[in-house]
Amino acid sequence: MNLRHFLTTQDWSRAELDALLAQAAAFKRARIGRQLEGKAIALLFFNSSMRTRTSFELGAHQLGGKAIVLAPGKDAWPIEFGDGTVMDGEAEEHIAEVARVLSRYVDLIGVRAFPKFRDWAVDREDAVIRAFARYATVPVINMETITHPCQELAHVMALSEHFGTTDLRGKKYVLTWTYHPKPLNTAVANSALLIATRYGMDVTLLCPTPEYVLDQRYMEASRRNAAENGGSLRVCHDIEEAYRGAHVVYAKSWGALPYFGRWEQEKPIRDAYRHFIVDEAKMALTDHAVFSHCLPLRRNVKATDAVMDSPACIAIDEAENRLHVQKAVMAALAEQGAGG
């Protein structure tokens, strides 16, 4: 039996994703289970977290398991990921040993590792989590790298709850870029495109200029998803056109990829588009759309207080659903019975 990981939703069939969502809904109704009884998950955070850490730790506990949290380079040794590297720098051990040793201790491994923001050609290879998956002998879960598959499931679960169905075909979905004073990771934006097209929605990527279009890997995968699932994908730079008639507005900020590693040059461009904030006037153009965001969100920068506090905002529901979908993922992977 081939070892199954949860690195991207693209590796899982639509039927499998639906099964995860159904299990997540069951966990939402009855939080306590025994699916991880006697099992443990190592959660490796190369970057900070609030919702992800809390929901994974709590989720493992609610299913009878144990979570061990590690921050390599802080409370654990720095790790080297390159092959053939002469390790005379800061790293004390190699991923080949780290992943295999952890696999002898635990039943699952979760990894959160953001891009370095210096060279997109390097960052897009997702080397950290790919190395864990290469060397680990237990399932590896993506807790956000250059995609965020757990957020995808929580997002589509919140939409399904709102619309009363998992059949989201025909819904007009707007993924809008928003301003942020810093260039941010494209992970959630990449994931939003992937999952919205996977569920057959008519997706509009709204961004200020072509420079803010996402990596072609995710654009092309999303176009294929749309073609296979009865949806569509288009890019738009006109705010009113994009918002008009929308059923879902999902906001995220990200840095322009052509300026990756040259952020001082990108900053004046980004600063010129503060008006992309999600506000009441824009939401009034929609067809009574729901609004959401992965959080954390800077109020009155990405979205106004009025939007965040309105009944249309389902961001808190989505955040809660992280707990339930991650329990479903852990339970499904733990069933494999893999161990080192």
Q: pLDDT by residue (tens digit) across 85-125?
A: 999 999 899 999 999 999 999 999 999 999 999 999 999 99
> What is the pLDDT at residue 102?
99
> What is the pLDDT at residue 33?
94
Annotated binding site for N(2)-acetyl-L-ornithine: 144, 252, 295
Average pLDDT over residues 326-334: 98
Q: How confident is the model at residue 336 (pLDDT cuts 50, 70, 90)?
A: confident
Topology of domain 151-319, CATH:
Rossmann fold (3.40.50)
Contact 34, 98 (CB under 8 A): no
Mean pLDDT score across all residues of the chain? 97
The domain over range 9-147+322-334 is classified in CATH as 3.30.1330.10: no
Annotated binding site for carbamoyl phosphate: 49-52, 77, 112, 148-151, 294-295, 322
CA 217/CA 193 separation, integer angstroms: 11
Q: Is the pLDDT of residue 296 over 50?
A: yes
Give Cβ neighbours of residue 223 (< 8 Å, ≥ 6 apart).
Answer: 197, 233
CA 18/CA 22 separation, integer angstroms: 6
Q: Is the pLDDT of residue 339 over 50?
A: no
Contact 112, 314 (CB under 8 A): no
Residue showing tokens 């979205």? 303
Per DSSP, what are the bridge partners of residue 45?
112
Annotated binding site: 49-52, 77, 112, 144, 148-151, 252, 294-295, 322
> What is the pLDDT at residue 340?
39
CA 224/CA 213 separation, integer angstroms: 17
Average pLDDT over residues 26-40: 96
CA 113/CA 297 separation, integer angstroms: 20
Residue 142's SS3 state is strand
Q: Is the pLDDT of residue 337 over 70?
A: no
Burial class (CB in 10 A: 0-12, 13-18, 19+), 18: middle
**pLDDT per residue over 253-274, tens digit each?**
999 999 999 999 999 999 999 9
Q: Is the pLDDT of residue 338 over 90?
A: no
Percent above pLDDT 90 for the chain: 97
Fold match between domain 9-147+322-334 and domain 151-319: yes
Tokens of 172: 């007009």
Q: Which residues of 206-216 are buried (b: 16+ CB within 10 A; e: fewer)?
A: bbbeeebbbbe
Q: How confident is the model at residue 1 (pLDDT cuts 50, 70, 90)?
A: low
Task: Please state the domain extents for the chain.
Answer: 9-147+322-334, 151-319
> What is the pLDDT at residue 19?
98
Query: Where would I find the beta strands (DSSP E) of 262-306?
Result: 290-292
